[in-house]
């Protein structure tokens, strides 16, 4: 299969962090997303881990100007089509199956598939993907693993996700094969519970400052 440049790369070039979001209500989704976008993080990964995820995507896509809604924890081709119809502009998967790789070609939505090993990265490259999620980043070898992958697979770019916080993010973003990182630290559960949207905006602003110079 001919490998094409990822349509996601241009959008992510200046966004160092993709917030990984798990919402309990649509109202929560709107408040959090508004704060993140205001803080400079417009690309939002809303995971399919809660019953309100699809409704949250629709609401954020329709009501938060500047938000670029992504769908996380996408496991099937049917989910790819469903999140596209809900307003998601990109999809993220923890792994990549042959069915998902084939279905993504026709789904009309960019897919960021997850890999954790060199063999998985090679299989994703064969399927036409050059921009990959490295997951679970810390458990799968972290920065040393990505450094090792760069030599033989320098044409690939990654968004490491899993176990990354504000302290670890700069070491990942300093790597030549890392475009951005995914993380949930910008949306602490206690801030959400307290309705402290200003704190979330401040954390987003701090995350933006992690951008590689």
Task: Give the phi and the psi of residue 85 in degrees, each rounded to 5.
Answer: -70, -20
22, 28, 34, 133: the active-site residue:
133
22, 28, 34, 45: the active-site residue:
45
Q: What is the pLDDT at residue 105? A: 81
pLDDT tens profile 43-57 = 999 999 999 999 999
Higher model confidence: residue 12 or residue 200? Answer: 200
pLDDT confidence tier of residue 1, bands split at 50, 70 and 90: very low
pLDDT surpasses 90 at 126: yes
Higher model confidence: residue 59 or residue 4? Answer: 59
Average pLDDT estimate for 19-24: 98
pLDDT surpasses 90 at 7: no
Q: Establish whether 147 is a catalytic residue.
A: no
pLDDT surpasses 90 at 78: yes
170 contacts 210 by C-beta, under 8 angstroms: yes
Looking at every residue in the chain, the average pLDDT score rounds to 94
Q: Establish whether 133 is a catalytic residue.
A: yes
Average pLDDT estimate for 163-177: 97
CATH architecture of structural domain 17-111+166-204: Alpha-Beta Barrel (3.20)
pLDDT surpasses 60 at 3: no
CB burial class (10 A; 0-12, 13-18, 19+) of residue 126?
Answer: exposed
pLDDT surpasses 70 at 2: no
């Amino acid at each position: 299969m001919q490998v094409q440049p990822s349509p996601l790369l241009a959008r992510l070039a200046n966004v160092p962090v993709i917030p990984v979001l798990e919402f309990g209500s649509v109202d929560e989704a709107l408040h959090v997303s508004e704060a993140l976008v205001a803080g400079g993080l417009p690309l939002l990964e809303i995971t399919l881990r809660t019953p309100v995820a699809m409704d949250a995507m629709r609401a954020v896509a329709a009501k938060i100007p500047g938000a670029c809604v992504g769908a996380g924890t996408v496991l099937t081709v049917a989910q790819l089509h469903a999140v596209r119809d809900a307003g998601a502009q990109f999809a993220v998967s923890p792994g990549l199956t042959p069915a998902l790789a084939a279905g993504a070609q026709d789904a009309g939505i960019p897919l960021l598939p997850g890999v954790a090993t060199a063999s998985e990265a090679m299989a994703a490259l064969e399927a036409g993907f050059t921009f990959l999620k490295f997951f679970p980043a810390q458990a799968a070898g972290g920065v040393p693993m990505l450094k090792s992958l760069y030599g033989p697979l320098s044409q690939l770019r990654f968004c490491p996700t899993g176990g990354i916080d504000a302290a670890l993010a700069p070491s990942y973003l300093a790597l030549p094969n890392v475009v951005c990182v995914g993380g949930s630290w910008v949306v602490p559960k206690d801030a959400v519970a307290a309705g402290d949207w200003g704190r979330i905006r401040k954390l987003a602003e701090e995350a933006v400052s992690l951008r590689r110079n």
